[in-house]
Chain A
Amino acid sequence: MTPGAYLVEVIVENKPLARDPEGETIHQNLILKGGYNQVTNVRAGKLLRMNVEANSPDEARAIVRKLSDDLRIYNPAAHTIQVRIVG
């Protein structure tokens, strides 16, 4: 099988119980002040976008998931991650 090129995103954010002052500030001081009361919560995080060569989207996602754990792209004591294929 010829490997394909995939675009994989890793989203790192604080665990729900770890306060996220940046998200809180954006919510309180920008979004609610701007009148968007429909927005009830904001979490700020970090986005890493990786180009990955793999045989399938699942394999690309698995590679990124593994490297995120092995190399501690996030600190599991305080963060959660989502890994998703975007292209």
Chain B
Amino acid sequence: MGKVAVIQYPGSNCDLDALEILRDVAKARTDLVWHKDLEDDDYDAYVLPGGFSYGDYLRAGAIAATSPSLRIVKEAAEGGKPVLGICNGFQILVEAGLLPGAVLRNSRLRFVCTWTNLRVETTRTPFTNRAEKGQVLEMPIAHNEGRYYLDKDQIPDLERNQQIVFRYVSEKSEATEDANPNGSIDNIAGICNQTGNVMGLMPHPERASLQVLSPDDKTDGRVIFDSMMRTLRGPRA
């Protein structure tokens, strides 16, 4: 079975949470790898965790995106391996050009820390293959720069290529303005690359994978890691 790397950048602070969920809940063989120590594509999947790499200086994720570790991640991504970016990890993947667009400061200019409802828009990714299309998952967000942006005229392409993976929705599963916590274009909470193996999202599935961390005992985030495990184990599992 595959081996997963959680890549640690200076300022990552959700690395240990991701590590614990991967090891203890998803039962994945997982290493915590300092970004400078990732010299070869020795893993079967990569997770870029949340945090404030390089203090969010210049732009969230912009400096970490120049880390040599991203060359390895790019190589792995081109080889079809699953790559997951959570929160700051999503920002890093966008800044490194592995995912399209930009992640800007929240429209209300505030750090937002709250639980959100996310609608699964596609199950074709290695991180959503155990979810159902249209399913609504509860996961928390905690960020100041989470406003996903892409020129409006490029959104139809993103939609057509099934690159929109999650949208912020209301309890009734509607993508309303009220359900949009940060002003993201089209309520987009998570996207993938064209081939689907690289996914980034602002919400934190690793904070929604244990009952004890959830306000209503739900563990909706687990489906992300369980999907990844299914991918790593192969289609027979």
Q: Does B146 contact A (CB under 8 A)?
A: no
Whether B26 is near chain A, meaning CB under 8 Å from some CB there, is no
Question: Taking CB as reference atom, which chain A residue is nearest B152?
Answer: A17
- For the complex, would chain B's binding face be called helix, strand, loop or mixed by DSSP majority? loop
Q: B109 touching A77 by the CB < 8 A rule?
A: no
Nearest A-chain residue to B151, judged by Cβ: A17
Given contacts A77-B101, A78-B104, contact A18 B109 (CB under 8 A): no
| Size bin of chain A's contact surface | 10 to 19
Contact call B107/A19, Cβ cutoff below 8 A? yes
Expressed in whole angstroms, the Cα–Cα distance for A43 and B109 within the complex equals 14
Number of interface residues of B (CB under 8 A): 21
Which chain A residues numbered 8 to 60 have a C-beta less than 8 Å away from chain B?
14-15, 17-19, 21-22, 25
Interfacial chain B residues near A19, Cβ < 8 Å: 107, 183
**Within 8 Å CB of A15, what residues of B?**
151
From A22, A73, A77, contact of B105 by CB (8 A): A22
Tell me if A77 and B150 are in contact (CB < 8 A): yes
Asked whether any CB of chain B lies closer than 8 Å to the CB of A84, the reply is no
With the chains together, A28 CA to B95 CA distance in Å?
31
| Shortest distance from the beta carbon of A83 to any chain B beta carbon, whole Å | 16
A17 to B102 alpha-carbon distance, docked (Å): 13
Interchain CA distance A22-B104 in the complex, whole Å: 12
Task: Tell me the complex Cα distance, A77–B99, Å.
Answer: 11
Contact B62 A77 (CB under 8 A): no
**Given A18-B104, A19-B107, A21-B107: A77 in contact with B65 (beta carbons within 8 A):** no
Cβ 8 A contact of B102, one of A21, A71, A77: A77
Q: Tell whether A80 is near chain B: CB-to-CB under 8 Å.
A: no
Residues in B lying within 8 Å of A, measured CB to CB: 58-59, 62, 65-66, 94-95, 100-102, 104-109, 149-152, 183
